[in-house]
Structures are given as structure tokens and as C-alpha cells.
Amino acid sequence: MTHSIALTFEDGVTRFVESRPGETVADAAYRLGINIPLDCRDGACGTCKCRVDSGSYDGGSYIEDALSEEEAASGLALACQARPRSDLVVAIPAASTACKTRPQGFETTLRGVQRLSPTTLAFTLERPAGFAFLPGQYVNLRVPGTDQQRAYSFSSAPGAEALSFLVRDIPDGLMSGWLRAAQPGARMEFTGPAGSFYLRPPARPLLLLAGGTGLAPFLAMLGALAEAGCPQPVRLVYGVTNDEDLVGLAEIEALGARLPDFACITTVARADSPHPRKGYVTDHVAADWLHGGAADLYLCGPPPMVEAVRSWLGAQGISPAAFHYEKFTPSAPAEPARRAA
């Protein structure tokens, strides 16, 4: 039986490989020309030590000097010995370029663009054959007619038929300007997937904090949790600047209905908003949602929001069991010489 192995590298690049029956992680990677760190191949040197973030495997045979019992218990493995028993996500302690690989490029077509609010667009692409990603990751999309790229996180779950994204509609934005006039069937190119901000197996309660279109990766995560099932409580706090920035509420409700223990709170920062909750996401996190630190925290939003949450955690004197975050900044305005047609 074959299994999918997602190799995540230190520079954010992810490459998916298929392991053949009885094949090790290293053998599967090298068969495709991905030269992950490797030396002895006998479980003796520890050069190929990596972290298995998700999935089950046979750790194989090795000596204590190469991998201690404590390291193995913490999720470390030797790529030259580990044989998948399921799909795996494996973090390689090296840059993709050092392993003689790079992000993959894909061509696809635009299915359609939907206006979700005066400030937000959603668009959907045909899914290229064989393309895979981890919930929470992003791709770099080339703006048609230009040499410019923009990074967007998937809002669709990995198992979805098509690839979906959320975009802040910036008046002079290069990509959003192109999308406003785009027609279904337009050709688009992207590289990826990429990013170390992705959902890990839910071993503890989950607290998700989203700011603006930083909601996108959480929609992908909720979709993945709904498909696979989640025994842990999941809490989402979604904050925006203005009421018109709130989008995706029906989708959140539908996905949350498929989870056994889910709650979502929305908040608007603008002081004169009629929304029932105002302020920042940290103003509306219930005291018990961090479970005294025994929770996994995922955060996606603009840099000031990320720094504010880090400061808030320090003030609370709480360190989450795991803290995964991704900062994003608004796309740059279009340059007149590079505007899409």
C-alpha cells in the first residue's frame, strides 16, 4: 500500500512524495531526486534525523547514538529507517535548496470570483491533477499579465474538489484589481504549497484566532477537522476592523455543526460598530479556552495583531502547549506599468 509523505522544509517549501510498500522516507524522497540529509543509511549516524508531525510509522532499527529513546518518544525519527504506516507529515531540518528541490509550479484555470462583502473577494481555481497541500498552507499566485506574485492561504480543505481563497479587495491592489474584471476560464499560475503554518493532529484543545482575511487558513483547518473528526474542543475568535469585513459566517456555522465541541465568537474593532462585541480578539477569549496552557493556539493576522497576542499571552502568564502563527501584510498597490489588462 502506498502512502503520501509531505516533506516540509525550513524555508517553508513543502513537497509531497508517495512511498512504495516497505520503502523508507529517505528512499521515497531520493527516488524523486529530493536529497534530504543522509549519510550512513544504517541508522548509525543520525544525519537524517527528522520530526514526524503527523501519521504513524515503523521506526526501524538504529543505535542509541543516532536516536535516543527520549527523542523517539518526542516524535523524532530517522528518515533512513522510518517506514510509513499511514500518510505522514515530516519536517526536514534543512532548506529545500540544500536538498536539491524547489517549490513546484502549476497551471490552472479560474472557476469564478465571488464578492463576499464590499471589502472581500473569494475566488476558486480548478485543482491541478496530483496537487496536495496541508490545511493552513498557502501558494504564490502570479498576477496574470504581470511578473508579480501574491501569497494566498487556502480557504478550502485539502480534500475539496477545487481550490478556494479569500482576498482583501484593495482599491489599487494588483491582484484584487485583476479579479474584479476576471472571467471564468482565465489561466493562472502558482507555485507551492508553502508555509509552516498548518494544522497538526489535534491532541489538545484548539484555540484559533483570526484577523480579517486571516480567516482563510482556519476555514481550511475547520474543513479538515470536520472531514477527519476531532475529539478536542475547538474555539475560534474572528476579529475584523469594520462590520463589512466579516465574511464566511455561514461557512463557519456549517463546518462547526460537524464538530462535536465548537464555538465561534466574532468581534469588530471599530468603536461605533453596532456589532454586539467590540474590541480585539484577546478581549473575547474566555479564561478557560487556554486550559491553563494545555491548549494549542493558532493565530493568523496582520503583524500588529500577532505582536498584540504575544504580549497578551505574556501578561496572562500563560504559554500554550503549542503556538503556531502566521503574519500577513496587505498586498502592495498596483504599479501603473504593471497593471493587469
Give pLDDT tens digits along the chain (341 positions).
Answer: 899 999 999 999 999 999 999 999 999 999 999 999 999 989 999 999 999 999 999 999 999 999 999 999 999 999 999 999 999 999 999 999 999 998 899 999 999 999 999 999 999 999 999 999 999 999 999 999 999 999 999 999 999 999 999 999 998 899 999 999 999 999 999 999 999 999 999 999 999 999 999 999 999 999 999 999 999 999 999 999 999 999 999 999 999 999 999 999 999 999 999 999 999 999 999 988 999 899 999 999 988 899 999 999 988 888 899 999 998 765 544 443 333 22
Which pLDDT value is given to residue 331?
Answer: 56
Q: Cβ–Cβ contacts within 10 Å for residue 58, how many? A: 13
Closest to 173 (Cα-Cα) out of 146, 153, 139: 146
Q: Which CATH class is domain 3-99?
A: alpha beta
Phi-psi label, residue 73: left if phi above 0, alpha if psi -120 to 50, beta otherwise: alpha
For residue 279, give the DSSP letter. S
Please give the span between the terminal C-alpha atoms of the chain, in angstroms, as a whole number: 48
All structural domains of the chain with their residue ranges: 3-99, 105-196+332-338, 206-327
pTM of the entire predicted model: 0.90
For residue 290, give the DSSP letter. G
Q: Is 238 exposed, middle or buried (0-12, 13-18, 19+ CB in 10 A)?
A: buried
Burial call 15-28: b when 16+ CB within 10 Å, e when fewer: bbbebeeebbbbbb
CA–CA distance, 272 with 242 (Å, rounded to integer): 9
- Residue 76 in contact with residue 95, Cβ under 8 Å? no
Q: Strand locations in 96-184, DSSP E?
A: 105-117, 120-126, 138-142, 149-153, 162-168
Q: Which CATH number fits domain 105-196+332-338: 2.60.40.3500, 3.30.2350.10, 2.40.30.10, 3.40.50.300?
A: 2.40.30.10
Residue 307: CB partners within 8 Å, gap ≥ 6? none
Q: What topology does CATH give the domain 206-327?
A: Rossmann fold (3.40.50)
CA–CA distance, 292 with 86 (Å, rounded to integer): 33
